[in-house]
């Protein structure tokens, strides 16, 4: 009995925050959601396409519809019912059904179907739209709307899955949280589901599980950089291409450094030491140290480089102790606080491998297909 009571209490706690308060006025910041829902419909009417249908459904579900579930936008129940019906038809998803499912997710209980007149109206609205499209524009309905709708559901499912894969996870990227109204603060949202979206950054949890990718792109974490390095080891042609593109980018940035560096630290890079290969040629007089915490990777680097002038250290990089190097190279797979490296460069010159869209300081693209660039930062 105690367990059942706990479950009921948990469910009630998860649902309580969504009830519209009496006399609540629409918040000014939420008014934009109503306007954007109208823009969504206008875009579908003016330029309908499979990508637009899919992306708009996914974006709306994780911004407008999601925030409407937790904090209804209107003072009156009639206004909220009408907007819920509108969203149901717009997205092709009955909002009452999704609301119950989503709140059960927050409460940690299994969702149950509630047969209400509101759900019946939403189902009827969706059915009427689909019937009208199938009757008046069957080709559009079959070859454009239906594939776009299916793709939108897939994107929504992928998004929801990766928000909680290996535990609830947040993403603090500025662009994503601007475009998705702080949806990236997912750990914080679960801790305080009734907090307005605009205030979630105030409750940032420093201990939260964090991903460098927003949920929609978190599947890229499955592209293990180690696995890609191992793939390169199997192909001399691929190795040559990777060394060449990195060498060109590094050479461009080294031209901006005051004098040739005498000592260089390469963090990581033991598995396939392409940076070391490039710098041996670009800086032939420099002392190069490869710092890698993986002994097996260092053994591979020793065999590949076969150069007694290069020092190999099996240890984790300590930024506080790196001032003895003239140049430090930080890899894309860096385990640590990359932003701290940018804020407080640990050497007179630091070259940071980063994603293509993260330009800092003097920067050069390594490869567009690799989505990679290098940034030169200094104290």
- 77-123 residue pLDDT tens: 999 999 999 999 999 999 999 999 999 999 989 988 899 999 999 99
Instruction: Point out the residues of the chain with pLDDT beneath 50.
Output: 1-26
Calpha distance 213→201 (Å, rounded)? 17
Residue 290 has φ and ψ, to the nearest 5°, of -100, 120
Q: What is the pLDDT of residue 222?
A: 55
To the nearest 10°, report the CA torsion of 100, 104, 106, 108: 180
Asked whether the beta carbons of 59 and 94 are under 8 A apart, the reply is no
Specify the 3-state DSSP secondary structure of 109. coil
Q: Which residue has the tokens 């299994």?
A: 110
- What length does the chain have? 379
Query: Given this model, what pLDDT does residue 242 score?
Result: 84
Query: Kind and range of the H or E element at 313?
Result: strand 310-314
> What is the phi/psi pair of residue 293, to 5°?
-80, -10
pLDDT value, residue 228: 65
pLDDT of residue 153: 95
Q: What is the pLDDT of residue 21?
A: 40
Phi, psi angles (nearest 5°) of residue 305 = -85, -40
Q: Cite the DSSP H helix spans in the chain.
A: 2-16, 31-46, 50-62, 64-70, 77-91, 95-107, 117-136, 138-140, 146-164, 174-179, 186-191, 225-233, 236-254, 274-282, 295-305, 338-343
Number of C-beta neighbours around residue 204 at 10 A: 13
| Predicted local distance difference test score (pLDDT) of residue 23 | 39
Domain map of the chain by residue range?
2-139, 227-377
The pTM of this model reads 0.62
- The closest alpha carbon to 170, from 146, 200, 148, belongs to 200
Q: Give every strand in the sheet of 362-367, ordered side by side.
A: 310-314, 287-292, 263-267, 327-330, 349-355, 372-377, 362-367
Question: What is the residue-wise DSSP string for 49-75?
Answer: -HHHHHHHHHHHHHTHHHHHHHS-S-S
Selection from 367, 366, 365, 363 nearest residue 375 by Cα: 363
Choose the CATH number for 227-377 among 3.30.420.10, 3.40.50.150, 3.40.50.300, 3.40.50.720.
3.40.50.150
């Amino acid at each position: 009995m105690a367990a059942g009571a706990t479950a009921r209490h948990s469910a009630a706690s998860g649902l309580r925050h969504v009830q519209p308060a009496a006399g609540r006025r629409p918040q000014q910041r939420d008014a934009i959601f109503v306007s954007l829902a109208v823009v969504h419909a206008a875009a579908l009417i003016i330029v309908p396409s499979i990508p637009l249908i899919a992306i708009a459904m996914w974006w709306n579900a994780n911004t407008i519809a999601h925030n409407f579930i937790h904090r209804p936008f209107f003072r009156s129940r009639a206004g909220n019912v009408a907007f819920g019906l509108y969203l149901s038809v717009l997205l092709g998803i009955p909002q009452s059904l999704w609301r119950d499912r989503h709140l059960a997710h927050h409460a940690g209980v299994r969702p149950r179907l509630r047969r209400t007149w509101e759900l019946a109206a939403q189902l009827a609205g969706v059915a009427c739209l689909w019937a009208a499209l199938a009757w008046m524009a069957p080709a559009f309905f079959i070859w454009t709307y239906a594939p776009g709708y299916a793709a939108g559901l897939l994107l929504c499912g992928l998004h929801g899955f990766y928000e909680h894969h290996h535990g609830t996870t947040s993403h603090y990227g500025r662009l994503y949280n601007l475009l998705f109204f702080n949806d990236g603060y997912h750990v914080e949202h679960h801790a305080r589901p009734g907090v307005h979206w605009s205030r979630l950054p105030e409750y940032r949890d420093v201990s939260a599980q964090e991903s460098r990718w927003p949920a929609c792109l978190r599947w890229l974490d499955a592209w293990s950089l180690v696995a890609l390095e191992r793939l390169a080891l199997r192909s001399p042609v691929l190795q040559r291409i990777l060394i060449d593109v990195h060498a060109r980018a590094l050479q461009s940035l080294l031209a901006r450094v005051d004098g040739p560096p005498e000592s260089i630290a390469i963090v990581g890079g033991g598995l396939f030491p392409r940076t070391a290969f490039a710098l041996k040629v670009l800086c032939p007089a420099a002392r190069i140290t490869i710092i890698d915490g993986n002994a097996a990777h260092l053994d591979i680097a020793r065999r590949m480089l076969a150069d007694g002038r290069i020092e190999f250290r099996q240890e984790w990089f300590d930024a506080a102790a790196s001032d003895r190097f003239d140049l430090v190279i930080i890899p894309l797979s860096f385990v640590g606080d990359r932003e701290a490296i940018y804020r407080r460069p640990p050497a007179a010159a630091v070259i940071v491998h980063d994603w293509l869209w993260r330009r800092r300081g003097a920067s050069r693209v390594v490869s567009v297909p690799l989505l990679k660039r290098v940034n030169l930062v200094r104290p």
